[in-house]
Structure 1
Amino acid sequence: MLSGKNKYTLQASSLQEDTVSRDEELAEIEQQLERAGFQARCEEHLIVKKVYKAKLESLRDRFPSMDTLNSRVELFKPIPMQPPKAFQNQTEVDAARNSNHSSVSSNPNSFSQFIAFDYNEYFNDDDVVYLDAVRTSRMVSLSRAFVRAGPRERLHFNPATVNAAIVTCGGLCPGLNNVIRELTHSLYSVYGVNQVWGIRGGFRGFLGLADFEPIILTNELVEDIHHEGGTVLRSGRGGFDTEKILQFLQERDISQLYVIGGDGTHRAAFKIHQECMQQSRNIAVVGICKTIDNDLDYIDRSFGFLSSVEAAQASIRTAKTESMCVSPRGITVVKLMGRSAGYLTAYAALGSGDVDCVLIPEVPIVLEGKDGILHFLEKRVAEKKYAVVAVAEGAGEEILGTSSEIDKGGNKKLQPIGEYIKKQIQDHFENKGLECTVRYIDPSYMVRSVPANAADSVYCTELAQNAVHGAMYGYTGFSVGQVNSHGVYIPIPLLVATSPRTMDPKGLLWERILSLTGQPNPDVGELCNPENEMDCFPHFERFIH
Structure 2
Amino acid sequence: IFGIKYGYEGLIPKYNHELIELTTEMVADIDLQGGTFLGSSRGQQEVDKMVDTLEIMNVNILFCIGGDGTLRGAHAIHEEIERRGLKISVAGIPKTIDNDIDLIQKSFGFESAVSVAAEIINNAHNEAHGAYNCVALVKLMGRDSGFIAASASLAVQEANFVLVPEVPFDLYGPRGFLKALRTRLEKRHHALVVVAEGAGQELFETESVERDPSGNIIHKDIGIFLRDKIKEEFTAKNFPHTIKYIDPSYIVRSVPANANDSKFCNLLAQNAVHAAVAGKTDFVIGYWNDDFTLIPIPMTVRKRKKIDVKGELWWNVLEATGQPVSMKNP
Cα shift at 1:291: 1.6
Q: Which residue of 1 aligns with 2:170?
A: 366
SS in structure 1 opposite 2:185? helix
SS in structure 2 opposite 1:447? helix
Contact 1:341 1:503 in 2 (8 A): yes
Report how many aligned residue pairs link the two structures. Answer: 327
Alpha-carbon distance in 2 for matches of 1:453, 1:380: 35
1:206-285 to 2 correspondences below 5 Å? 206-209=11-14, 212-285=17-90
Contact 1:335 1:392 in 2 (8 A): yes
The CA deviation string for residues 434-467 of structure 1, in whole angstroms up to 9 with x for no partner, is 2101121111111010011111111001100000
Cα shift at 1:209: 4.0
Give the counterpart letter for 1:450 in structure 2. V
Q: Return the match for 1:307 from 106, 112, 115.
A: 112
Q: Which residue of 2 aligns with 1:342?
A: 146
Alpha-carbon distance in 2 for matches of 1:275, 1:340: 30
Structure 1 residues 523 and 372: CA distance shift in structure 2, 3 A: closer
Alpha-carbon distance in 1 for matches of 2:14, 2:124: 43
Residues 1:484 and 2:293 are matched in the alignment = no
SS in structure 2 opposite 1:265? helix
Q: Return the match for 2:157 from 319, 340, 353.
A: 353
Higher helix share: 2
SS in structure 2 opposite 1:475? coil
Contact 1:342 1:360 in 2 (8 A): yes
Contact 1:366 1:522 in 2 (8 A): no
Cα shift at 1:521: 2.0
Alpha-carbon distance in 2 for matches of 1:383, 1:211: 60
Alpha-carbon distance in 1 for matches of 2:189, 2:254: 33
Query: Which fold has the larger relative contact order, with Cα–Cα distance below 8 Å and residues 6 or more apart in sequence?
Result: 2
Contact 1:312 1:348 in 2 (8 A): yes
Give the counterpart letter for 2:139 in structure 1. K
Q: Which residue of 2 aligns with 1:63?
A: none
Cα shift at 1:389: 0.4
Alpha-carbon distance in 2 for matches of 1:521, 1:427: 25
Residues 1:378 and 2:186 are matched in the alignment = no
Alpha-carbon distance in 2 for matches of 1:363, 1:293: 16
Cα shift at 1:365: 1.4
Contact 1:261 1:291 in 2 (8 A): yes
Residues 1:286 and 2:91 are matched in the alignment = yes
SS in structure 2 opposite 1:205? helix
Alpha-carbon distance in 2 for matches of 1:406, 1:367: 26
Residues 1:521 and 2:325 are matched in the alignment = yes
Q: Which residue of 2 aligns with 1:152?
A: none
The CA deviation string for residues 327-347 of structure 1, in whole angstroms up to 9 with x for no partner, is x22101111011111111100
SS in structure 2 opposite 1:404? coil
The gaps in structure 2 that reach 5 residues or longer are: none
Contact 2:145 2:305 in 1 (8 A): yes
SS in structure 2 opposite 1:439? strand
Residues 1:508 and 2:312 are matched in the alignment = yes
Q: What TM-score, normalized to structure 1?
A: 0.58
Q: Which residue of 1 aligns with 2:266?
A: 461
Cα shift at 1:239: 4.9
Q: Which residue of 2 aligns with 1:320?
A: 125
Cα shift at 1:405: 0.9
SS in structure 1 opposite 2:253? coil
The CA deviation string for residues 490-525 of structure 1, in whole angstroms up to 9 with x for no partner, is 00111112x31211112111111111111112289x
SS in structure 1 opposite 2:97? coil
SS in structure 1 opposite 2:169? coil
Q: Which residue of 1 aligns with 2:255?
A: 450
Give the counterpart letter for 2:236 in structure 1. N
Cα shift at 1:215: 1.1
Residues 1:440 and 2:225 are matched in the alignment = no
SS in structure 1 opposite 2:251? coil
Alpha-carbon distance in 1 for matches of 2:270, 2:237: 59
Alpha-carbon distance in 2 for matches of 1:206, 1:399: 40
Alpha-carbon distance in 1 for matches of 2:38, 2:14: 15
Contact 1:372 1:520 in 2 (8 A): no
Alpha-carbon distance in 2 for matches of 1:523, 1:384: 20
Larger Rg computed on CA atoms: 1
Q: Return the match for 2:277 from 472, 491, 504.
A: 472
Alpha-carbon distance in 1 for matches of 2:291, 2:46: 34
Residues 1:395 and 2:196 are matched in the alignment = no
- State which drifts further: 280-289 or 403-412: 403-412
Q: What TM-score, normalized to structure 2?
A: 0.95
Give the counterpart letter for 1:381 in structure 2. L
Contact 1:350 1:513 in 2 (8 A): yes
Alpha-carbon distance in 2 for matches of 1:401, 1:253: 51
Structure 1 residues 265 and 210: CA distance shift in structure 2, 3 A: closer
SS in structure 2 opposite 1:506? coil
Alpha-carbon distance in 2 for matches of 1:416, 1:461: 35
Cα shift at 1:351: 0.7
Cα shift at 1:211: 5.6
The CA deviation string for residues 135-160 of structure 1, in whole angstroms up to 9 with x for no partner, is xxxxxxxxxxxxxxxxxxxxxxxxxx
The CA deviation string for residues 259-292 of structure 1, in whole angstroms up to 9 with x for no partner, is 0111121111011111111100000000111222
Q: Which residue of 2 aligns with 1:144?
A: none
Alpha-carbon distance in 2 for matches of 1:230, 1:255: 27
